[in-house]
Structure 1
């Protein structure tokens, strides 16, 4: 049964069937990556014997209020069941199997994926304290209500995805204008490519571009984040042009940095602004779109409208935050991580500090002791090593090492990390690229601070080094296990 035509005409987003496919499959693909990453990293970082054990966290009254499957009990085995279940369900959505089922099956399956990941985020503590965690949770919940092929995409949900993109981009733009002066005087990109949390293979090339180009980059960023998002709510093809501009600017960020899935999910969500008609025009007038039903069944219209009203009600705090004098960055206003505030890099660091962790098999008090460096997968270490591309995969330990070098006060995990190195803990060592002791216990470990900068073209030709580093001092002096 369907609504009368005069109602179906406004509720059925018949011109956004390609957008729905990209949104559902794209968000599910990012969930899949996030679940794989959780299966690989969570036990070592947050498991029963992790750096910040989830079982200990769950004893706190705050943790017991969080919606999570682990509220009553956490085990590493249960975590893996949750993660791999999420992988399987996400994969089924990516390949389009679940979309073949009725929407009363599709929506619950997508919401199960959302809740499984929410369960992980809500016990993830510092290692899951990133804005893109809430972004993935919100996107998963909203996109679920686009429905399967037995209904047209509800236009209210399509527009709510655009509202999500607006908050994401405009919020990031406003936090920059209210934050570091370098965003206002157009010098932020003099530093950012070099000091960003995890550079990629092209970051050095981007950093060494002329300063006039960096000013153009900042101007382009302000235009894409402060002006363009408003046009997402204009008629077609204006909304499609706005979406295309944001997609192109996000692709530049993908090319020049590793920001986990932040840029990729922004790209996916921005496709909510591109209509089937625009796709047809891009393909030379070919008939495209029309995937699934052309109307919205009565029962599903009720669900979609109820979800829309629910999300609109939750939108007041983030809307008010966008224009608040003290704007919150990456804040959730409820325990379900729905309708959040977003923003990134309100301040830009001018110098890059790195924590270098070393171990020795010798007497640590001997001036001639040989110290060997532990190599991380993503963060800079060896000056000759070209940074790798990992995004949208998220290397959580490497990111926290960047915050540690900035003087993060919330770093109790680092002491435990050094202890695990002294114990030659296998799960912890698997988080690294190279263990210089090949699984054997070192006698002592230490952490030193270095100042890093990208080498110039002449320095690179002369030495082969990508980075130039100079020692600043000790962060943690040599420490050993008792009895060593």
Structure 2
């Protein structure tokens, strides 16, 4: 079928595949370095307890069949190694069928992790990576031209990410319609970055421009993805620029980066190569019939499953970041349908005193990403995902979000659990665990320019209430 492949998108496919492999690498590293404390055998939400009696089709993956910490570690590190091989070009140096198996292995391996990750993996970017990774299985490699249908499916995924996010905003918090949400968002977002203080301190008229530009980028520009070139490339370029703006303003794991990767599926590869001064790409071999059949089958599957996200987007009760099947295929997306006006942070403290009283000295635990010490500049971590820090942000919104894991977290602090302490930036009890741990809620806000010059602090915080009274291990 002459129409099946389009050689002009060879560089676009190369960028998509290598960059997606890099995101997979970050995802597997995140899993390998954090799983023991979060979902390990002695973790806060252990996988063995979660999968006990769980039907395989409810959470398809290898860990429903067998789990041990050693097995999970080997699985995650193997996924990281395979991802690194893809980034290095291994998938282009092997036969087409081998390349497809490599991409399919990455998808299956990460699906297995997500489906037992519970609360720690309940984010839209997990499904987004899996859906993009599934489509990458059918993109082919350097031995054949990029399949037209798969490039269109990637644009369809990108459209759902952007348009779904735009709709949820217009239907949600009225501050989006009033163009005032960014009066608050840079300050109250889950994990601010090193530039977030400066974004927040922009003049309010510029914040209104930011919101208006966001509406255009999410509700108008995505329509251009389905138009002929060069309009589609321009639309993709606008999306890439707006996503880079979001990268600069906060930490959103790999959400922005996968969105950027998908945008390259709409960029004219020949034009991009010419702009970069790269030599013209030679002709590729015709796609084998078996590959064409698999691509057509995958396309048909996506078309059939698309009825669910389309119905969701058309619904007045639109939901965001939802998977309609256990394989995380053809999902619905969206972000920040509502925006917090105030930032509440849960501060965790411990003491080594034998008894707790008015004069007890409490020492604060430091987290890597979430705000703590008011004088500490927020750090950049994305695309690496600090899962505990993100859930601490939710705990500050409501204790209900922390009901399943906060108690086990405190218990492990009282035990001095090494795996849990590795998730933290600072352990104030390096020699022996504390005798008591407590948690209190503070109201945080960014300092003003004057306060910043006078105190050197990035945050101002005020104690509001108790989150957890002092607790000790049962003797």
TM-score where L is the length of structure 1: 0.96
Deviations 1:87-108 (A, max 9, x none): 1111111010121111111011
CA distance 1:177–1:63, change in 2 (3 Å): farther
Q: 1:26 aligns with which of 19, 40, 48?
A: 19
Structure 1 residues 60, 451: closer, same or farther in 2, change over 3 A?
farther
1:373 pairs, out of 364, 367, 387, with: 364
Q: What does the per-residue CA deviation read over 1:373-417, in whole Å, with 9 as the maximum and x for residues that have no partner?
A: 000000000000000000000000000000010005242200000
**Alpha carbons of 1:313 and 1:175: their partners in 2 closer, same or farther (altered >3 Å)?**
same
Give the aligned partner of residue 3 of structure 1: none
Alpha-carbon separation, structure 1, partners of 2:169 and 2:353: 48
1:427 paired residue number: 419
Q: CA deviation at 1:290?
A: 2.4
Q: Which residue of 2 aligns with 1:4?
A: none
SS of 1:478 mapped into structure 2: strand
Q: Distance in 1 between matches of 2:360 and 2:283?
A: 69
Q: 2:441 aligned with 1:441, yes or no? A: no
**Could you tell me how far 1:287 is from its partner in structure 2?**
5.3
User: Which one of the candidate residues 180, 190, 194 is aligned to 1:187?
Assistant: 180
**CA–CA distance in 2 between the matches of 1:469 and 1:199?**
15
Alignment CA distance shift 1:437-1:212 (3 Å):
same
Q: 1:480 aligns with which of 446, 462, 472?
A: 472
DSSP 3-state at the match of 1:70: helix
| Structure 1 portions without partners, runs of 5+ | 1-6
> 1:18·1:291 contact (CA, 8 Å) conserved in 2?
no
Aligned-pair CA distance for 1:32: 0.6
Q: TM-score, normalised by structure 2?
A: 0.98
Instruction: Give the corresponding residue for 1:393.
Output: 384
Contact 1:180 1:348 in 2 (8 A): yes
Q: Does 1:320 align with 2:324?
A: no
Cross-structure match for 2:86: 93
Q: How many angstroms apart in 2 are the aligned matches of 1:264 and 1:65?
A: 29
Question: Separation in 2 of the partners of 1:321 and 1:288?
Answer: 45
Question: Is 1:453 matched up with 2:445?
Answer: yes
1:236, 1:393 → 2: CA distance? 34
Tell me the C-alpha RMSD between the 2 structures.
Answer: 1.3
* Residue of structure 2 aligned with 1:81, choices 74, 77, 88: 74
**Matches of 1:368 and 1:294, distance apart in 2:** 78
CA-to-partner distance for each residue in 1:46-96, whole Å, 9 max, x for gaps?
000000011000014367631110112211111111101101111111010
